[in-house]
Structure 1
Amino acid sequence: MFSRIKKEINAIFERDPAAKSVLEVLLCYPGLHAILLHRVAHAIHRKGFFVLARFLSQVSRFLTGIEIHPGARIGEGLFIDHGSGVVIGETAELGDNVTIYQGVTLGGTGKEKGKRHPTIGNNVVISSGAKVLGSFTVGDNVKIGAGSVVLKTVPPNCTVVGVPGRIVIRDGQKVESAYTPDLRHDQMPDPIADMLSQMQNDIERLERKLKEVERECCHLKDKAEGAKS
């Protein structure tokens, strides 16, 4: 137990330059408190005392602002920075050395049973406000940008941004896509001109159609007069 606590403290010193002392980390880091309480709640959950485990997780939520379901499986070296608003679902699985910032949700997408939360690989960074929703895998060494919404599998060694999340860097190389921003702001479309142009095209089409109808009427009239004569 003490060895695991030491690893959790070392993870904070490795990834947070604001950490000054062990005493400060033990007293002032709600992410550490949430993780340690989760370890206890998870052990109780595995013994089958589900209500007691959930109650302890709710106590942890009240104290830290971080909600981790006792059924979630968390590897070593998890660092939850600040942590307010973090939610980790029941069937979520986290690898080693994962970093999570405030407002992150590892959640599901519906009322389905069984595995419904994501599996996070090793050395993953999930930035502030990101949402990872559904039962899929986020590979090792992935970075998820702030505010991103990830809804499908992410291969290892990628950077994901946007809503919905899309891969912009893979294995250190920029990924070109249809979503690449167009910075030619001197060539912006003019919706009013486009609408007027469309109206002009419609008027010309209607005029051609009207002329065809007029010619057809004249032809029928000439045939009728010829028949009478």
Structure 2
Amino acid sequence: PWKPPYGIITSYFKYAIAPAIVEESFEPEGKTRQEALEDIEWPMALSVQTNDPALFFAALAMSCVHLPETHEFSPQSNSFFFRWLSSKCVEYLNKSLANPARACSDGTLIAVTFISFCESMAGNHRIAATIHQPGLRQMVNTRGGLDSIAKASAVGERVTKAISALDIVVASKFGCTPIFEDSYALAQAAPRHCRSRQFRAFHLECASLRLTKSLEITLKTRNHAEI
């Protein structure tokens, strides 16, 4: 019987992508290497700690989109496997949404954030924009907004940082308005007459520079793996 290659995917992310991101983006902030790695790997750990299968499959999908394009399990080389991960995530998300204790939990918020981002990066931005992103916005509103979520739990700040950062990266890549634009200090401070698409895109690109750098590292790692 077919066995999903969970170990191959998570190992590649853990030992190739995560250390490269740490070296380029996090160590200058004064964190130890272990703390920096935890900032990247915490969603998978949270999925295990809370027995959250939706978050588990979302974290796997996130690892999958970081694989080199020529890797046998990348979305480009094996679209079936990515679609399987995505469908499993959505299957368990539907179960979480039907459970009041999990409907708007930190794990569910991150699972929706991750699967939305992954769909966009895998070429299915329409699915993300019309299904996942509106649902995420509604869940965040139910929790009282990003600021409220950040203060509500031990991982709340990590949750909101991930939501905000990936929202900005997707908006920058596709030239669309961030779904949480009204929550960002940047949007609050920008003069009304300056909020043109070009002005906003420029500042979003600057604001997402660190995460964009992470994507550049992914591409470099892919290229190295393909040599």
The structure with more helix, counted as a fraction of residues: 2
The structure with more strand, counted as a fraction of residues: 1
Same-fold status (TM-score > 0.5): no
Larger Rg: 1
Give the number of the structure with larger relative contact order, counting CA–CA contacts within 8 Å between residues 6 or more apart.
2
TM-score, normalised by the number of residues in structure 2 = 0.30
TM-score, normalised by the number of residues in structure 1 = 0.30
